[in-house]
Chain A
Amino acid sequence: MLISTQNLEKKYQVGSETVVALKGINLSVKKGEFLSIMGPSGSGKTTLMNIIGCLDSPSSGSYMLNNKTVSDLSDDELAKIRNSEIGFVFQSFHLLARNTALDNVMLPLKYAGKQKAEAITLAKDVLGQVGLSDRCSHSPSELSGGQQQRVAIARALVNKPSILFADEPTGNLDSKTGSEIMKLFKKLNEEGQTIILITHEDEIAKKSKRVITIMDGLIESDVENNDE
C-alpha cells in the first residue's frame, strides 16, 4: 500500500475556538492509482492534501507512506520526504519568475544534493517528457500558461516521486489547454505514475479512475470510475 491513513484528524486553534478540519479519515491508495479528491471549499480537502503531501502533520491518527510512518516526523525529515517521494503541481504554477525553465526544474535536484551535471541531464530529460525540450532557457514570463504548467509538472516529476499531487492544476488554464494537461496526466499514469488530483470540478475528476468526495472533514463517497 502506497498511502494508508488511520483516523486522521486535524484541529486548528482559531482564537479561542477549535476548528476540526478533518474528523477521522481512513484512506488507502495503491501504487499506480489515478485518484481525485473532490469537495467544496471548507470541506477539508486542502488540509487532507497538506497532510498526505507531508506539508503538515495530523493532530491525531497515523499516516503511513510506503510502509513508513510519517505522521510524527520532524520538519526537516518531512522536507526530505517531500523532496524524494512527492511532486507538487499547483493551480498558479509557482515557478520562480527570475529563473529559466531548466533552473526551475533543477530546483528539487539541488535540494536533493545532486551533482550539477547529473541534475542538468535529468532536468532536460523530464522537460523532454513534457514536450518542452526547446524551452529550457526560457523564463516563465516567456512561456504560455500551459507551458508554465508543463514546466511545473516536469519539476514535480524530476526526482521520480512516488506520488504526484496536483492541486487544481487546470484552474488557471483555458479549457483546451486544461484538457491537454489532463491528457499529459493520463499518459503519465499509464506509464505507472501515481497521481492524486485535488479539484472541485466534476469534469476534471471524471478523468481519473477513482473519485473521493470529502464533506465536513469526512469521506462522503469513494467511487471507482470506469467511464474512461
Chain B
Amino acid sequence: MLVEESIKSAISSIKTNGVRSFLTALAIIIGTAAVITVIGIGSSAEKALEASIDDLGPRTLSIFPSQRKRGGISSGYNPLVIKDAEALAKNKEHDWMIAPAMSGNRQVKFNNSNISGDINGYLPINFKVRGFDIGQGRIFTEKENLGRKKVIVLGSKVPGELKTSANQLLNKDILVAGTSYKVIGILKEEGSTGWQNPDDDLYVPLLTASQRIFGTDRLGWINVGISNDTNVDYVMMTIEEILRQKHDIGPGGDNDFRINDWSQYSDLRRQATGIFTALIAGIAGISLIVGGIGVMNIMLVSVTERTREIGLRKALGATQKSIMMQFIIEAVLLCILGGILGIIIATSLLFLFISINDWVFSMPLSAIIGSITFSALVGLFFGIWPARRAAKLDPAVSLRYE
C-alpha cells in the first residue's frame, strides 16, 4: 500500500506541475526518440536490404575482368571472353549457373520515339540467376541464342520511355542501332538494386549481342549463381583454377580477374549500419544523461517546495526509506513517461520515413524495452540524491518551513 501511495503521490505531483514536468522530461524524450528512430531506420533498412538480396534469387558471385600487373607495371585489361564462360559451364563438379553478360549503350527507336538504351547480351539462364520474372510474352531460348536471332526482351519501364505501352510493343519490331529486333517479352518490374535499374534495360541473346551489336566476344562480367548451401570458398578456388588455366597465368602470377561475393557487400553494409546506430545511440545516451541532470535539478526543487509535506509525512510516521522511495519513484516515473513519449514520437517519425522510402516497418522489441529500462535507470540514478536529501530532512524543522 505504501508503494501505491508513492506512485499516486508521484503521478499527482507530475500532473500538478505539468509544464515543468514536460520540460524536465524533454531531454529524455528527445534522447529516447533519437535512439528509437535510428534503431528503427537501421532495422527497417536491413529488412529492405534482405528483401533486395532475396530478389537476387540464388546467391550470386560475379567475375569481372581486372588489371593484370607484372612487376608493378599494369599491362591493361585482359578481357573475359565467351570462351571463358564456356569453360566454366563445362565444369560439372559444381551445381552452378554460369551467366555471362555484355552490355553497352545503343540508340533504340520505336515509331518516332528515340532513347539511348542499355543493351544487355544475356543467356536464358541469366534471367534465372538474377531472379527476373517475365511479365508478358516470353524470354528468348537457347536456340535463338545459337541462331543469333534478332529478338529482344524489354525491362518494364522501357515501353513507357518509348512513349507507348507493353501491349503496343509486344511482337512489334523496334530499331536497335538501326537494325530491327522483334520484342518477344517484357519483364515484370524488378526495382532498383541501388547501383542499376534492370527495369530500364533491354536484353538480347548473348551471341546476337556479341556478333550483331557489339562486335566483340569480350564479356562485361560473368555471374555465377550458386545455391545458398554451397561452399563459396571452394567455388571461388575452382573459378580461379579454370580461369588462370584459360588465361595461361603461371604460378605466382596475379589474377587478371576478380570475383565479387555480393553477400559480403551486404555484410559490410550491415556493419556500417551497426556502427552508425551505435554512434547515434552514444550521442542519445549523452542526451539521456543530460536529461537525468535536469531531472535531478527539478527533483531538488520539488524537495524544497514540499519540505512541509515531507515534515508532515515524517510526523505521521514515514521512515527515511519510505520518503526516499516516494521521491525516487517520482523521478523514475518522470523518466519512464519521457521514454514512452519519446518512443511514440520516434514511431510516428519512422512511419513517415518508411512510407517515403517504401520500406517495411521493423522495430526490435528489445530496443523499446531497452530504452525504457535505460530511462528508468537514469531516473533512479539521478533521483537518489534529491530523495536522500528529502529523507534526511529534520521533521521538526521542515514542519515549520515557510
Q: Is the CB of A107 within 8 A of B316?
A: yes
Q: Is the CB of A82 within 8 A of B1?
A: no
Please indicate the chain A residues that have their CB under 8 angstroms from the CB of B356 in the complex: none
Please indicate the chain B residues that have their CB under 8 angstroms from the CB of A116 in the complex: 1, 4
Which of A24-32, A90-98, A207-215 has 4 or more CB atoms under 8 Å from chain B? A90-98
Q: Is the CB of A108 within 8 A of B12?
A: no
Q: Is the CB of A79 within 8 A of B317?
A: yes
Contact of A76 among B16, B309, B312, B320 (CB under 8 A): B320
Please indicate the chain B residues that have their CB under 8 angstroms from the CB of A138 in the complex: none
Task: Please give the distance in Å from B402's CB to the nearest CB on chain A.
Answer: 10
Interface mask (A18-36 → B, CB under 8 Å = 1, otherwise 0) = 0000000000000000000
The verdict on A82 contacting B315 (CB below 8 Å), with A55-B395, A98-B12 known, is yes
- What is the CA–CA distance of A135 and B322 in the complex, to the nearest angstrom? 28
Q: Is the CB of B318 within 8 A of A111?
A: yes
Interface status of B308 (Cβ within 8 A of chain A): yes
The verdict on A94 contacting B1 (CB below 8 Å), with A80-B319, A155-B316 known, is no
The verdict on A83 contacting B12 (CB below 8 Å), with A55-B396, A94-B312, A110-B1 known, is no
Interface status of B313 (Cβ within 8 A of chain A): yes
- What is the CA–CA distance of A50 and B5 in the complex, to the nearest angstrom? 27
- What is the CA–CA distance of A118 and B314 in the complex, to the nearest angstrom? 22
Q: Is the CB of B317 within 8 A of A94?
A: no
Task: Please give the distance in Å from B12's CB to the nearest CB on chain A.
Answer: 5
- What is the CA–CA distance of A79 and B313 in the complex, to the nearest angstrom? 10
Task: Please give the distance in Å from A212's CB to the nearest CB on chain B.
Answer: 20
Q: Is the CB of A108 within 8 A of B308?
A: no
Q: Is the CB of B316 within 8 A of A111?
A: yes
- What is the CA–CA distance of A109 and B396 in the complex, to the nearest angstrom? 21
Q: Which A residues, 105 to 129, have Cβ-Cβ distances below 8 Å to chain B?
A: 107-108, 110-116, 119
Determine chain B's interface SS by DSSP, over half rule.
helix
Most buried by A among B308, B313, B317, B320: B317
Please indicate the chain A residues that have their CB under 8 angstroms from the CB of B269 in the complex: none
- What is the CA–CA distance of A155 and B316 in the complex, to the nearest angstrom? 9
Chain B residue with the shortest CB-CB distance to A76? B319
- What is the CA–CA distance of A89 and B322 in the complex, to the nearest angstrom? 22
Interface status of B369 (Cβ within 8 A of chain A): no
- What is the CA–CA distance of A110 and B308 in the complex, to the nearest angstrom? 19
Q: Is the CB of B317 within 8 A of A114?
A: no
Chain A residue with the shortest CB-CB distance to B5? A110
Interface status of A222 (Cβ within 8 A of chain B): no
The verdict on A110 contacting B314 (CB below 8 Å), with A76-B321, A98-B16 known, is no
Interface mask (B277-319 → A, CB under 8 Å = 1, otherwise 0) = 0000000000000000000000000000000110011111111
Q: Is the CB of A113 within 8 A of B1?
A: yes
- A-B pairs with beta carbons under 8 Å apart, 28 shown: A53-B315, A55-B395, A55-B399, A56-B396, A76-B319, A79-B320, A80-B317, A80-B319, A82-B314, A82-B317, A83-B316, A84-B317, A88-B315, A94-B308, A94-B312, A94-B315, A98-B16, A99-B12, A108-B316, A110-B5, A111-B2, A111-B313, A111-B322, A112-B317, A113-B2, A115-B1, A116-B4, A155-B316
Q: Which residues of A contact B (CB under 8 A)?
A: 50, 53, 55-56, 75-76, 79-80, 82-84, 88, 90, 94, 96, 98-99, 107-108, 110-116, 119, 155, 159
